[in-house]
Amino acid sequence: MIGLISATAAGAAARDRLAAAWPDRTRVYEGPVGDAVRAAFAQCEQLVCFLATGAVVRLVAPLLSGKAADPGVVCVDEGGRFAVSLVGGHAGGANELAAEVGELLGAEPVVTTATDAVGLPGLDTLGLPVEGDVAGVSRALLDGEAVALRAEVAWPLPPLPVAAEGAYTIRVTDRAVEPDGREVVLRPPSLVVGVGASRGAPAEEVLGLVEDALREAGLSAASVAELATVDAKAGEPGIVEAARRLGVPLVTYAAGELAGVEVPNPSGAPLAAVGTPSVAEASALLRGGELLVPKRKSAGNPAMATCAVVRRPGRGRLAVIGLGPGARDLLTPRARAELRRASVLVGLDQYVDQIRDLLRPGTRVLESGLGAEEERARTAVEEARKGQAVALIGSGDAGVYAMASPALAEASDDIDVVGVPGVTAALAAGAILGAPLGHDHVSISLSDLHTPWEVIERRVRAAAEADLVVTFYNPRSRGRDWQLPKALAILAGHREPTTPVGVVRNASRPDESARVTTLAGLDPATVDMMTVVTVGNTATREIAGRMVTPRGYRWQEGAE
Ligand code: SAH
């Protein structure tokens, strides 16, 4: 819950906008501000105060207990110009809240925690449990001192400016190690504990067994991602309670599915009871990985619980990101966030240049020139399969005549894939031309490098006959100059010579140019590979210099 506190009329107006936008997340505290702040501080995870920072500092100072426990506090000034993350930037979430509030109110977020201010991810914000000298290692990163990364488990992390050797270390491990003086230990959620239990097994017995197994194998409970068992035990109180106390979800599988997993220690007892020769080993192994602790039984007599521990491989992450047509403000916030999350960036050099300033320090950039598409796709997938967080970028939308399909054609199901849509050239051009895509439309690439010309021609003909608005991508290059006139001639067989045609070059880039001409008037020589050409349908008109395709028009009498 976010507590909202204001003192003035302007503050109350901004407060009400926030409350209206987030009705379920916010609670308004009225009354004298001192009392309101104290009440909200005690009751809410976060506060937004429409008050001077000085006033808020004085009010919250006596209430602060430590950065792990304090709520996140954001102050918005009287003019609504700034959303200042005042307290609890990381653990309290105030930095993110300041960004969200800023977005909503049109205020600039102000963040002063050092790592965020220079674009480094805070070591305590990576989403992994962290132990050790977070402040010291963060300072070393900021000061440019050598910090070594020792990843004993490959896990996708955002970029960190790390070296091969260093006085400071960031260790990524699921083993039960104590951090050294100049070390932080990040705990990847790499362990899956399979558990079985007879009816009524006490939680203490289950938990004790799991803890003993981890301790004896030298593994850290902070890396346990989940408990796994068979469906029939989904409600077994001892197992449910053990998962709750470990703070991890309980996942369950059908007995038939578990029976299909090959395990080292099958037995007759679970087969008779729940229909699978293995519960603990099979449920831990079902998603793959390495069996670190084979099935063991609890100490009770009779033993009522079994467990097994598996280390699952870190799943790499491939984000396929459309950068939009060029202008920075047509790059989506989601694309920006994904770019900052990746530790490896793969793309065409000219697209990398478009967003290089947004990358976090330490991002490994694998750029290549024109062509080499298959190789870029393969590289991106290979890096993800190594457990990296990879961003593969393309202009416009990365799924439109671009990298998404070759990459996903290479990708197996051992990596996570996320797609971030971008504004494709046809849409960017359409907005410049007017409203040419107001009715049914298609895009056709005139590049016959990968597609036989007969296929392209057949599609152009079909579009012509169906009276679709057509946007041509890859319309003309030095070596490919006859295709565009040919395609236009096919369309001219079904449309008037006066049909409007929009030509947009470098949409949303600094040297953007656009014009509306006609089928008869278009000079193909003015078109190149930086251009899209949009041909109207039989109802498209030029109105006040803009290209307009009516929505839901009726066929005029006399027309076909
Ligand atoms: N994925 C891209 C398209 C790649 S194909 C997208 O979704 O936009 C390359 C073709 O796209 C170019 O030959 C050109 O026809 C078109 N194109 C891409 N960006 C453009 C821009 N900013 N202005 C005009 N045309 C563009």
**pLDDT for residue 553:** 52
d(CA 56, CA 152): 44
Percent of the chain with pLDDT over 70: 98
| Position 288 confidence tier, pLDDT thresholds 50, 70, 90 | confident
Fold of 317-423: Cobalt-precorrin-4 Transmethylase; domain 1 (3.40.1010)
Mean pLDDT of 493-504: 98
Is the CB of residue 531 below 6 angstroms from any atom belonging to ligand 1?
Answer: yes
pTM over 0.85: no
Phi, psi of 120 (to 5 degrees): -90, 140
For residue 326, give the ligand 1 atom closest to its CA.
Answer: 22
Strands 389-394 and 316-322: parallel
- Asked if 526 and 503 count as a contact pair (C-beta separation under 8 A), the reply is yes
Coil, helix or strand for 455? helix
Is the CB of residue 395 below 6 angstroms from any atom belonging to ligand 1?
Answer: yes
Mean pLDDT of 389-401: 96
For residue 508, give the ligand 1 atom closest to its CA.
Answer: 22
Which residue among 530, 533, 534, 535 is best mutated to probe the pocket of ligand 1, counting the most ligand atoms within 8 A of its Cβ? 530
d(CA 323, CA 442): 21
User: Mind listing the pLDDT tens digit for each residue in 136-167?
Assistant: 898 888 777 889 999 898 888 888 888 888 89
Distance 445 CA to ligand 1 centre (A): 10
Distance 396 CA to ligand 1 centre (A): 7
**pLDDT for residue 99:** 87
Is the CB of residue 473 below 6 angstroms from any atom belonging to ligand 1?
Answer: yes
Output the residue whose Cα is nearest ligand 1's atom 12.
474
Cα radius of gyration rounded to whole Å, the chain? 30
**pLDDT for residue 334:** 94
Q: How far is CA 371 from CA 349, 351, 368, 376, 451, in A?
A: 11, 13, 8, 9, 16
- Asked if 499 and 457 count as a contact pair (C-beta separation under 8 A), the reply is no
- Asked if 465 and 492 count as a contact pair (C-beta separation under 8 A), the reply is no
Is the CB of residue 474 below 6 angstroms from any atom belonging to ligand 1?
Answer: yes
Which residue among 481, 531, 534, 535 is best mutated to probe the pocket of ligand 1, counting the most ligand atoms within 8 A of its Cβ? 531
**pLDDT for residue 96:** 85
Distance 550 CA to ligand 1 centre (A): 25
Is the CB of residue 533 below 6 angstroms from any atom belonging to ligand 1?
Answer: no
Element (H, E) at 333: helix 333-341
Element (H, E) at 24: none
User: Mind listing the pLDDT tens digit for each residue in 294-311?
Assistant: 999 998 888 999 999 999
Output the residue whose Cα is nearest ligand 1's atom 11.
473
Mean pLDDT of 363-385: 89
Domain ranges of the chain: 2-112, 123-186, 191-311, 317-423, 426-559
Residue 302: asked if its preceding bond is cis (omega within 30°), the reply is yes
CA proximity to 507, closest of 433, 428, 431 = 428
Which string of b and e fits 328-364 if b means at least 16 CB within 10 Å?
A: eebbbeebbebbbbbbbbbbbeebbebbeebbbebbe
Q: What angle do CA 163, 166, 168 make, to 5 degrees?
A: 110
Is the CB of residue 348 below 6 angstroms from any atom belonging to ligand 1?
Answer: no
List, in order, residues 6 or more apart from 65 with CB less than 8 Å away.
none
Fold of 191-311: Nucleotidyltransferase; domain 5 (3.30.420)
User: Mind listing the pLDDT tens digit for each residue in 27-81?
Assistant: 999 999 999 999 999 999 999 999 999 999 999 999 999 888 999 999 999 889 9
Fold of 2-112: Rossmann fold (3.40.50)
Lowest-confidence pick of 111-120, 164-173, 228-237, 551-560: 551-560
For residue 394, give the ligand 1 atom closest to its CA.
Answer: 1
The overall average pLDDT reported for the chain is 92
| Position 427 confidence tier, pLDDT thresholds 50, 70, 90 | very high
Mean pLDDT of 352-370: 88
Q: Which of 135-139, 370-374, 486-490 has the highest mean pLDDT?
A: 486-490
User: Mind listing the pLDDT tens digit for each residue in 230-247?
Assistant: 999 999 999 999 999 999
Is the CB of residue 326 below 6 angstroms from any atom belonging to ligand 1?
Answer: yes
Output the residue whose Cα is nearest ligand 1's atom 5.
401
d(CA 49, CA 144): 36
For residue 423, give the ligand 1 atom closest to its CA.
Answer: 7
* pLDDT of 386 higher than 90: no
d(CA 193, CA 229): 9
**pLDDT for residue 559:** 46
Distance 50 CA to ligand 1 centre (A): 45
**pLDDT for residue 258:** 97
Strands 415-420 and 316-322: parallel
Which residue among 393, 472, 532, 535 is best mutated to probe the pocket of ligand 1, counting the most ligand atoms within 8 A of its Cβ? 532
Instruction: Write the CATH number of the domain with boundaries 426-559.
Output: 3.30.950.10
**pLDDT for residue 480:** 93
For residue 474, give the ligand 1 atom closest to its CA.
Answer: 13
Q: How far is CA 96 from CA 53, 129, 175, 208, 355, in A?
A: 18, 19, 31, 39, 22
Distance 129 CA to ligand 1 centre (A): 43
* pLDDT of 16 higher than 70: yes
Percent of the chain with pLDDT over 90: 76
Is the CB of residue 325 below 6 angstroms from any atom belonging to ligand 1?
Answer: yes
Is the CB of residue 425 below 6 angstroms from any atom belonging to ligand 1?
Answer: yes
**pLDDT for residue 558:** 45
d(CA 254, CA 545): 65
Mean pLDDT of 518-542: 96
HSE at residue 321, side-chain half, CA atoms within 13 A, is 32
d(CA 377, CA 403): 7
Is the CB of residue 137 below 6 angstroms from any atom belonging to ligand 1?
Answer: no
Question: How long a stretch of residues is the chain?
Answer: 560
Residue 560, burial from CB neighbour count under 10 angstroms (0-12, 13-18, 19+): exposed
Mean pLDDT of 395-406: 96
**Residue whose pair of structure tokens reads 């937004």 in the numeric block:** 48
Is the CB of residue 155 below 6 angstroms from any atom belonging to ligand 1?
Answer: no
**Residue whose pair of structure tokens reads 């989506």 in the numeric block:** 332
List, in order, residues 6 or more apart from 509 with CB less than 8 Å away.
325, 326, 327
d(CA 248, CA 245): 8
Is the CB of residue 156 below 6 angstroms from any atom belonging to ligand 1?
Answer: no
Is the CB of residue 405 below 6 angstroms from any atom belonging to ligand 1?
Answer: no
Is the CB of residue 338 below 6 angstroms from any atom belonging to ligand 1?
Answer: no
Is the CB of residue 397 below 6 angstroms from any atom belonging to ligand 1?
Answer: yes
DSSP 356-399: GGGSPTT-EEEEE-SS-HHHHHHHHHHHHHTT-EEEEEESB-TT
| Position 557 confidence tier, pLDDT thresholds 50, 70, 90 | very low
Q: How far is CA 377 from CA 373, 383, 443, in A?
A: 6, 10, 23
Q: Which tokens is 388 given?
A: 């990296």
d(CA 381, CA 410): 7
Which residue among 401, 445, 447, 450 is best mutated to probe the pocket of ligand 1, counting the most ligand atoms within 8 A of its Cβ? 401
**Residue whose pair of structure tokens reads 């006399």 in the numeric block:** 558
- Asked if 397 and 321 count as a contact pair (C-beta separation under 8 A), the reply is no
Output the residue whose Cα is nearest ligand 1's atom 25.
531
| Position 117 confidence tier, pLDDT thresholds 50, 70, 90 | low
Distance 459 CA to ligand 1 centre (A): 19
- Asked if 193 and 207 count as a contact pair (C-beta separation under 8 A), the reply is no
Mean pLDDT of 399-417: 93
Is the CB of residue 401 below 6 angstroms from any atom belonging to ligand 1?
Answer: yes
